[in-house]
Amino acid sequence: MADDRKTVVLTGAAGGIGQAAVRRLASNGWNVLAVDRDTDRLAAIAGLPHVAIFAADVTSEDDNARMIALAEERFGGVDALVINAAITGGGGFEAIPFARFRQIIEVNLFGAVMGIRAALPALRRSVNGPAIVVTSSTMGLGGESENWAYGASKHALIGIVHSLSREIGWEGIRINALCPGPTRDTGMTRIVESGAPEHFAMLARNVPLQRWADADEMAAVMEFLISPAASYVNGHAMVADGGTINGTGLAAPASGQGRVMPDH
Ligand SMILES: NC(=O)c1ccc[n+]([C@@H]2O[C@H](COP(=O)([O-])OP(=O)(O)OC[C@H]3O[C@@H](n4cnc5c(N)ncnc54)[C@H](O)[C@@H]3O)[C@@H](O)[C@H]2O)c1
């Protein structure tokens, strides 16, 4: 190691959750290689201490190889990988063109597999409790109308986590998924936030905590999952959704406060 910091490679680093994670991890003892294809947004985190940026497309095997080589060269090794880049793709089952479906699978699934494959040799060399986190979604565990393509990609990621945890656990490398609920100030939610206030409020009402998450609340879970505090957490899909997917029916008391139901 070039210094006593551990090093994390994080994709989708220029996005809402990605930027929050870069800031949190760099402030809490990590070197961060921040990877994204959006060079304008990457520039926002370029000057931060302990952060290096790399403009790359996660669907390119060459770019994935280069990002790991760069992290090793710049920081002396790779101790954690956070696969966080993704694209959305809402639309009815019969409406989404196959070309768009392929693109979603290409970025969200192939991109993840390529990143993990590229990183494994470096993670094997780590003596700092190597770990991988893949950002899935509550859409990786449940369904939603007109969100099947994105959901399929996110379900598949959890399948990879389940199997790979059993393939590399013996080498001391952990892999887990993070499943965020609706998170504010992100590309994933910008359309809802800016264009459809009623949909925004409706999604919040669906959450027992009655609000959207802040991006840093997702970054905190990522940090936990790659930290020694999670040293026995492996093959797990950790949900951070304010309690949404475990319930059915109302997410909060209809009256707005607790009450005793009348006998009937
Ligand atoms: N925001 C939410 O409500 C929410 C909910 C559940 C899951 N997620 C997941 O969280 C993760 C982070 O998303 P976000 O909410 O911050 O959205 P975001 O759109 O702000 O960030 C995604 C980032 O991925 C990058 N990216 C996309 N394709 C890429 C490619 N081919 N190569 C390199 N970079 C690429 C984008 O440039 C962008 O910066 C995603 O995996 C998303 O599916 C988000």
What structural domains does the chain harbor? 6-238 (3.40.50.720)
259 — pLDDT class (breaks 50, 70, 90) = low
User: pLDDT per residue over 5-21, tens digit each?
Assistant: 999 999 999 999 999 99
Q: Which of 211, 213, 208 is nearest to 183 (CA)?
A: 213
Q: Quick check: 85 pLDDT over 60?
A: yes
d(CA 134, CA 42): 20
pLDDT > 70? residue 196: yes
- State yes or no: pLDDT of 37 exceeds 80: yes
Q: Which H helix or E strand runs over 237?
A: strand 237-240
Tell me the average pLDDT across 26-45. 97
User: What is the distance in A from the centroid of ligand 1 to the CA of 127?
Assistant: 29
Strands 6-11 and 131-135 come out as unpaired
**Mean pLDDT, all residues of the chain:** 95
Least confident stretch, 35-39, 90-94, 258-262: 258-262
- The preferred substitution site among 188, 191, 221 for testing ligand 1, maximizing ligand atoms within 8 Å of CB, is 188
- Distance (Å, whole) CA 20 – CA 109: 23
Q: Are the C-beta atoms of 236 and 176 separated by less than 8 Å?
A: yes
**CA nearest ligand 1 atom 36, residue:** 12
> How many other CB atoms are found less than 10 A from the CB of residue 195?
9
Say if strands 30-36 and 6-11 run parallel, antiparallel, or are unpaired: parallel
Helix or strand or coil: residue 171? helix
Residue ranges around ligand 1 (CB below 6 Å): 12, 14-18, 36-38, 41, 57-59, 84-87, 107, 111, 135, 137, 180, 182-183, 186-189
* Residues recorded for the chain: 264
pLDDT at 58: 98
263 pLDDT band, cuts 50/70/90, is confident
Summarised one tens digit per residue, pLDDT across range 137-194 is 999 999 999 999 999 999 999 999 999 999 999 999 999 999 999 999 999 888 788 8
DSSP at 227:
S
Residue type, 68: I
Instruction: Give me Rg for the CA atoms of the chain.
Output: 19
**Residue in 5, 2, 69, 84 with CA at minimum distance from that of residue 37:** 84
| pLDDT at residue number 1 | 44
